[in-house]
Amino acid sequence: MQNTLGILVFSCGLVACGAVENNRYRDTAALERPPTLALQKIAQNTIIDDSVEPKNKIAGLDEKVVLLDESPTRLVLKQSVSESWRTVGAALRQSDIKITDTEKNKYSYYVSYQSHGVLKNILSALNEENTKTIYVITLIAQEGDTLIQASLANRNEQRSQNTEKNVTNNVTDDSDGLIESLYHLLRDDVKTE
């Protein structure tokens, strides 16, 4: 009985609080109104395609990267050297090619790369002392575009990344394979900002 009486008193109090009416809150004339927007007319024959992704979310640079048909294999990236530096760095970080060192003033990346050939993978799996082959990817400004080339790092640079016993004289140069991998990565897969 006390619970019922308490609930009744509480309900009456709530009704009493809600019954107070203040007219100043009903007048909205003094409130700020949103601006009236002008509608743009669209021609009747215009097709609106909202399925196209913005360019920065599409992976790959497509026609901005060109693989030159010469020996040694090189790339041309249709960007300035500073843009290409960022793009190539992003591509390397998004791939399995490991950046071991950089020289920004020379636009050079030192990378650890292993060929993706079947025979190379079998031989490296059998080799207990697996050495890392270090390559130098160099970016060169060329008439508004950037020329990208790769070469095998010299013996001192190889030694800095490997222990002395693992550096051998018969390191095979697969810089053409590295450039082709970088080409496919830049053309198809790199995600730029």
pTM of the model: 0.60
| Tokens representing residue 118 in the block | 């079947």
**What are the structural domain ranges in the chain?**
58-189
Average confidence (pLDDT) over 14-35: 72
Q: List, for residues 49-101, the tens digit of each pLDDT value.
A: 544 444 444 567 778 898 998 888 899 999 999 999 999 998 898 888 899 99
Task: List the beta strands (DSSP E) in the chain.
Answer: 65-68, 74-77, 98-103, 108-112, 134-142, 145-152
Q: In the prediction, which pLDDT does 53 show?
A: 47
Indicate the CATH number for domain 58-189.
3.30.310.170
Q: List, for residues 153-191, the tens digit of each pLDDT value.
A: 887 776 666 544 454 555 678 889 899 999 988 888 777
